[in-house]
Amino acid sequence: MNSVTQRGLTFVGLDVHKDSISAAILRPRLEVPDVEKISSDDESVRRFISRFKQPKQLRVCYEAGPTGFGVARLLTAMNVSCEVVAPSLIPKAAGDRVKTDRRDARRLARLYRAGELVPIRVPTLSEEAVRDLCRARADLVDDRKRARQRLGALLLRHGQIYRAGAAWTNLYEQWQAALRFDESAAGHLRSLPGGPRRPRRRVGRGRG
């Protein structure tokens, strides 16, 4: 029995999803974790932690994923040790392709107690906000690039070559004239991501 187990620590592996969390509880001197399923909202997590008489003896971990770092921040605020581990660095047995929530949670609890998991740094809220902003901008730039490529290919199939350096936002009339679109087709083109927009007409103010 290793020194970690002798200290009486309880290791918990969480398989976190949008609506639920599978929690594998590996108590001291035991080899088979108990698994239960709870809701993923904050109140359910608090009730789960409150069932342990000594929360400071808990060591919790879960895989980094699309659910973010909310669970880690919540547990840290409750003075519970929680680490987010890198999914790509989790040891996997050869040929083990069966993947369920309960199996994943059990494997996390066992590997965490064995010291086989690699934690990642949990970013601060401000760091995560900047990261989300950069990712959103990069996604929008990629969407605009793909839309322009599709539109350029459409023009080329009709024998029209896009003039390099021309402003994309001012080409609506040229596209409509070159391809002889009717209003329904032009409306569909305007609905594409990054597509042209109909120029706004200036309405003069009447004197009175």
Q: Which of 40-54, 60-74, 145-159 is the least confident region? A: 145-159
Q: Which CATH architecture has domain 3-120?
A: 2-Layer Sandwich (3.30)
* pLDDT at residue 5 in the model: 46
The span from the CA of 48 to the CA of 39, in Å, is: 10
Q: Which residue has the higher pLDDT, 191 or 122?
A: 122
Evaluate if residue 102 carries a pLDDT over 50: yes
* pLDDT at residue 3 in the model: 47
Evaluate if residue 35 carries a pLDDT over 70: yes
User: What does the pLDDT average to over 22-43?
Assistant: 95
- Please report which confidence band the pLDDT of residue 27 belongs to, taking 50, 70 and 90 as the band edges: very high
User: What does the pLDDT average to over 132-141?
Assistant: 95
The span from the CA of 129 to the CA of 200, in Å, is: 35
* pLDDT at residue 31 in the model: 92
The span from the CA of 11 to the CA of 27, in Å, is: 7
Average pLDDT of the chain is: 83
Evaluate if residue 143 carries a pLDDT over 70: yes
Tell me the one-letter amino acid at 204.
Answer: G
Strands 58-63 and 34-39: unpaired
The span from the CA of 177 to the CA of 163, in Å, is: 15
Name the residue ranges covered by the structural domains of the chain: 3-120, 125-191
What does each C-alpha distance from 14 to 22, 74, 106 come to in angstroms? 6, 14, 8
Is-contact 69 120, C-beta < 8 A?
no
**Residue 181, helix vs strand vs coil:** coil
Q: Which residue has the higher pLDDT, 73 or 93?
A: 73
pLDDT digits (tens, 9 = 90+) for 176-195: 555 555 555 556 656 666 55
User: What does the pLDDT average to over 114-133?
Assistant: 95
Is the Cα dihedral 35, 2, 61, 99 positive or negative? negative
Is-contact 38 59, C-beta < 8 A?
no
- Please report which confidence band the pLDDT of residue 208 belongs to, taking 50, 70 and 90 as the band edges: very low
Evaluate if residue 30 carries a pLDDT over 70: yes
State the pTM of this model.
0.70
Is-contact 45 21, C-beta < 8 A?
yes
Q: Angle, nearest 10°, between helix axes 42-50 and 70-77?
A: 40
